Chain A
Amino acid sequence: MKENSDPSDDSRISALLREARQAPELPPRFQQNVWQRVEDAQAPAKSASWLENLADLILRPRFALAAAAVILLAGVCAGASQGRQVARHEAQMNYLASVAPTAVH
């Protein structure tokens, strides 16, 4: 068995191996894309839009409960005010019908 091979044989073998194992072709603008991704990864996270902020606010239980209570109260006040006006008008019509039926009908 030969222990010390010829160095020229090694270099020939290496050259043959390099030829046999060809590197695949890189996609176009490969290097530019790699750098772009590196920059994107290093950049600080984008701030959320106003819509996302609003949605986050709405989903907070305390805010949602407070808003629901305010809306409920506004509805009750508006309804009661309108109801008082309707009742007052009906009472006025009752009186008018009793003293001036020809004016009402």
Chain B
Amino acid sequence: MNRPLLILVGALTLGAAIFTGSYVTARHATVACCTKPADDLDWLRAEFHLNEAEMARVRELHEGYRPKCAEMCAKIAAKKSELDSVLGGSTNFTAGAQTKLNELAVLRAQCQAQMLRHFVAVSQAMPPDQGRRYLAKMKRLTLGSRESMEPSMSDEAGHEQHH
């Protein structure tokens, strides 16, 4: 390999090493500096530009909602384990399993309704435009995954029927 080409390749390698090193270091330092796992509401303050009074109201709502959410999660977990025990032993889908499935669906619906009521209450504690943005974002984050999954599954079912 001739000398100028060797110099060029060496310079490019050195440049890539400098860029990668500085990128990784800066990324790591920023993540370590800006992530505060101690406060769950830190994201709300930064994302929706809330002042201290709004944050205090949101925190109050949040603290009131947490035990209800935990209670609902415990009920859902218990119902899931009941369903598993009904399904576990048999190879048939029994009427008992159907009942447990219905009860689980009711609990999940109640959990979602409670969650949406909380989101509405929090959005009302924010300035109107930020509240609307918060509500839309939370709906998309919490209900969006199921909504995006259902049309794709119905498409697949349609394809199955055509074939």
Contact = CB atoms under 8 A, between A and B. Distances in A.
Interface residues of B, number: 50
Interface in A65-103: 67-68, 71-80, 82-84, 86-88, 90-92, 94-103
Contacts of B26: 75-80, 83
Contacts, number: 132
B9 to A, nearest CB: 10
Contact of B15 (A71, A80, A97, A98): A71
Given A71-B15, A75-B23, A76-B26, A91 B42 contact: yes
**Number of contact residues on A: which range applies?**
35 or more
27 contacts: A52-B4, A68-B14, A68-B18, A71-B15, A71-B19, A72-B19, A74-B19, A75-B18, A76-B22, A76-B23, A79-B25, A82-B23, A83-B29, A87-B33, A87-B35, A88-B43, A90-B37, A95-B42, A95-B43, A95-B44, A99-B115, A99-B119, A100-B115, A100-B138, A100-B141, A101-B69, A102-B111
